[in-house]
Amino acid sequence: MGVDEFNRISRMIHLNNVEAEIPRGREGHDPWSKVRPILDKINQKSKHHYTPSQNVSIDESMIGMKNRCVFLQYMPNKRHARFGVKKFQLCDTDSNGYLSHVHLYAGKDLDVLREEVQAHAVVRTLMQESQFLNKGYRLFTDNFYTKPKTAEFLFANKTALVGTVRVNSVGMLKNVAKQKLQVGEAKFWRKYPSDMLAVTFREKKSQTKPVLAHSTCHDAGMETKTIKGKQKTKPVLIFYYNKYMGGVDLSDKKIYHYAAERSTRRYWKKIFHNLIDIAILNSWILFSLSTGKKLDRERFIIEVVENLCEGDDIANALPPAPQPVLWNFIQ
């Protein structure tokens, strides 16, 4: 296939029936109708082919673009993409960044006046859409999502919440934030009925404000571990948070290095390329876990592309497993 033919096919790609779309402003309008079929299919297949470990995390990410799109967001703290479409992701933290569910942010669907309510809406929506409630999961979040109201909701649905928390969060124990601590000192509180443990901890002398964290599945206690040859004593809750919170960032990092991005004026094609990247990353993780083989990810992607281009003629493909694994995600 030549470059011109490839570009012609690329221009003709559509993921949904444009004539069947409900116009904006009418009841039943879907802001993501142009990518809805593949978005739902990848979310479905991601959960079907892999059951996450007990520890999962939620965080926001960006699909970088500056296309004409009413949903464009600006996030200055994101290094790889400050402008783009925001998405919320639920990620397994024990599998090298396996993405279980993706929710695209359209502004209005989760747009509320108060930050506390918005954070709660994000967590509730992702956990309900992914069907992870009432299954004993431990959810790790940063200080935007860790709210007492969210902890109570998850606790009532047999799900634990672990995360750092902001001083001004509504419903937080006020005396926790006012504590003056010595270096290495930690204080604990327990709040009922959600059985929420609150901890404040000062690790360094240069740390003017102590770390505040909540958990509904940990006990009050300290633990000493050797990290980079040095003995460090911290609350058990802090060790767990540092270990399991980075799932979404790890996934973004892996996708960024081998992203299938192409220049296009269509915002939905940017989203489409990102969803394909997610499917390939999940397929690579499944291949590594199921076979135990350490196959370089770049080589894996090349084999997948070659196998898909060859169709049924995959006799000489090495390894033979990647093609059907990815095919399950996109069929």
Residue 204 has pLDDT above 50, yes or no: yes
DSSP state of 108: S
Residue 225 has pLDDT above 50, yes or no: yes
Distance CA(132)–CA(126), nearest Å, equals 9
Which of 195, 237, 54 lies closest to 137, judged by CA? 54
Reported pTM: 0.82
| pLDDT reported for residue 112 | 47
Distance CA(251)–CA(100), nearest Å, equals 11
Structure tokens at 209: 């404000």
Helices 267-291 and 247-257 pack at an angle, to 10 degrees, of 110
**Amino acid at position 212, single letter:** L
Which of 28, 109, 105 lies closest to 59, judged by CA? 105
**Mean pLDDT of the residues in the chain:** 82
Confidence class of residue 314 from pLDDT cuts 50, 70 and 90?
Answer: very low
- Of all residues in the chain, the percent with pLDDT exceeding 90 is 25
- What pLDDT, in 10s, does the model give residues 36-59? 999 999 999 999 999 998 999 999
Quick one: which H or E segment has residue 179?
none
Residue 99 has pLDDT above 80, yes or no: yes
Residue 316 has pLDDT above 80, yes or no: no
- What pLDDT, in 10s, does the model give residues 135-170? 999 999 998 888 888 888 999 999 999 999 887 775
| pLDDT reported for residue 233 | 87
- What pLDDT, in 10s, does the model give residues 267-283? 889 999 999 999 999 99
Residue 150, CB half-sphere, CA atoms under 13 Å: how many?
34
Residue 331 has pLDDT above 70, yes or no: no
Structure tokens at 242: 């540092």
Which of 243, 216, 252, 240 lies closest to 88, judged by CA? 252
Phi/psi zone of residue 131: left (φ > 0), alpha (ψ -120 to 50 degrees), beta?
left
| Residue 324 vs residue 239, higher pLDDT | 239
